[in-house]
Amino acid sequence: MTYLVKVTVINGSPRKQKGYSGFILKPFINGMKKAGGTINVYYPSEMKIKPCIGNLDCWESGNKECIINDGMQEMYSILKETDILALASPVYIPLPSKMQIFINRLCALLNPKTKFIKGRTRVSFRENVKISKILGLITGGWWEIENLDTVQTIFKEFANIASVEFIGAILRPHTWLLKENTQKNKEILDKIESLGKQVIKSGQMDKKDLDFVSQPLTTEPELRKMLNKMHS
Ligand SMILES: Cc1cc2nc3c(=O)[nH]c(=O)nc-3n(C[C@H](O)[C@H](O)[C@H](O)COP(=O)(O)O)c2cc1C
């Protein structure tokens, strides 16, 4: 049985589909489509969106909307009809700037009425917002997976604040090595496709499969040697 079907993918990379995040989003999206999902991809770098001005009009006036009349208004309509929000981004210490603006502007979709759950202040999406799950897809250039922690925490924290399930993140350190034509890389890309299918079929991603996708593609000294050679 199909679980949730309408997925909105936000690819925060300014390099859009030509970047490494776009490269691993491709099999993920293929997997979701093959499993029957309706997938739409959007790029904050293409959006005509202004930074949040912080007057909290969306929370404190009666109109419950963001007063900034720009490209985000169209995104609000799309997000209201979204079941699963997939936040994809490269690590840019920590986020590409337009991705950060996009996330700030999501505030307008939240109902400001607070609850206190397990020692943390939480809110919820407004009643007219369908999003019930959020996932991440994060790429980095350096060796260790810890490079991706901050971005994952930002995505997870947003899901927690909005009181929806964070179903995990595809974490791919040194993504650039994944472009080499090797058997291992093919297996990883196939696994990413399989994770896409899982998202649509069960609304979850298998932890073992996520670990497989994140595996090191070489040793740290080897990668450092390659990077330093490129940058010398
Ligand atoms: C401004 C900037 C900061 C970056 N910081 C990090 C970092 O702290 N750790 C890391 O692993 N990669 C870092 N990277 C590398 C990118 O995260 C990596 O190349 C990523 O896969 C690029 O994805 P894209 O091609 O989709 O934009 C940085 C890249 C840029 C441009």
Only one residue has tokens 């979850």, namely 204
Report the pLDDT averaged over residues 125-146: 98
Averaged pLDDT score across all residues of the chain: 96
Q: Are 214 and 173 in contact (CB under 8 A)?
A: yes
Task: Count CB neighbours of 107 within 10 A.
Answer: 18
Locate the ligand 1 atom nearest the alpha carbon of residue 22 and give its number: 26
| 34 has a pLDDT exceeding 60 | yes
At residue 4 the predicted structure's pLDDT band, cuts being 50, 70 and 90, is low
Domains contained in the chain, number: 1
| Contacts made by residues 150-155, CB under 8 angstroms, sequence distance 24+ | 150/91, 150/94, 151/89, 151/91, 151/94, 151/95, 154/94, 154/95, 154/103, 155/87
Task: Tell me if 175 is assigned to some domain.
Answer: yes
Alpha-carbon span 162 to 178, nearest angstrom: 33
Task: Tell me if 106 is assigned to some domain.
Answer: yes
Q: Specify the pLDDT at position 2.
A: 47
Q: Specify the pLDDT at position 5.
A: 87
pLDDT digits (tens, 9 = 90+) for 50-86: 999 999 999 998 888 999 999 999 999 999 999 999 9
Cα-based distances in Å from 222 to 20, 115, 179, 219: 20, 49, 17, 5
pLDDT digits (tens, 9 = 90+) for 84-133: 999 999 999 999 999 999 999 999 999 999 999 999 999 999 999 999 99
Residues ≥6 apart with Cβ < 8 Å to 28: 86, 137, 170, 192, 193, 195, 196
pLDDT digits (tens, 9 = 90+) for 168-211: 999 999 999 999 999 999 999 999 999 999 999 999 999 999 99
Alpha-carbon span 181 to 20, nearest angstrom: 15
Q: Which domain, by its residues, includes 101?
A: 6-230
Query: Ligand 1 centroid vs 222 CA: distance in angstroms?
Result: 19
Query: In this predicted model, which residue has the larger pLDDT, 4 or 165?
Result: 165
Collapsing DSSP to helix, strand or coil, 137 comes out as: strand
Q: Are 109 and 61 in contact (CB under 8 A)?
A: no
Residues ≥6 apart with Cβ < 8 Å to 154: 94, 95, 103
Task: Tell me if 1 is assigned to some domain.
Answer: no
Q: Specify the pLDDT at position 39.
A: 98
- CATH code of residue 40: 3.40.50.360
Only one residue has tokens 């699963």, namely 84
Task: Count CB neighbours of 194 within 10 A.
Answer: 19
Q: Specify the pLDDT at position 80.
A: 98
Q: Is the pTM of this model over 0.85?
A: yes
At residue 222 the predicted structure's pLDDT band, cuts being 50, 70 and 90, is very high
Query: Ligand 1 centroid vs 171 CA: distance in angstroms?
Result: 13
Beta strands in the chain (DSSP E): 6-11, 38-42, 84-90, 110-117, 120-125, 133-139, 165-172
Q: Specify the pLDDT at position 63.
A: 83
Name the residue of 93, 145, 149, 153 whose CB sits within 8 Å of the most ligand 1 atoms, as the mutation to test its pocket: 93
| Cis-peptide into 96, omega within 30 deg | no
Alpha-carbon span 182 to 20, nearest angstrom: 17
pLDDT digits (tens, 9 = 90+) for 154-180: 999 999 999 999 999 999 999 999 999
Name the residue of 26, 92, 146 whose CB sits within 8 Å of the most ligand 1 atoms, as the mutation to test its pocket: 92
Spell out which residues line ligand 1, taking CB within 6 angstroms: 13, 15, 19-22, 90-93, 139-142, 147, 175
**Cα dihedral across residues 20, 205, 196, 4: positive or negative:** negative
| 214 has a pLDDT exceeding 60 | yes
Task: Tell me if 201 is assigned to some domain.
Answer: yes
Task: Tell me if 49 is assigned to some domain.
Answer: yes
Task: Tell me if 47 is assigned to some domain.
Answer: yes
Report the pLDDT averaged over residues 35-43: 97
Alpha-carbon span 156 to 167, nearest angstrom: 9
Task: Tell me if 94 is assigned to some domain.
Answer: yes
C-alpha atoms less than 13 angstroms from C-alpha of 26 in its C-beta half-sphere: 11
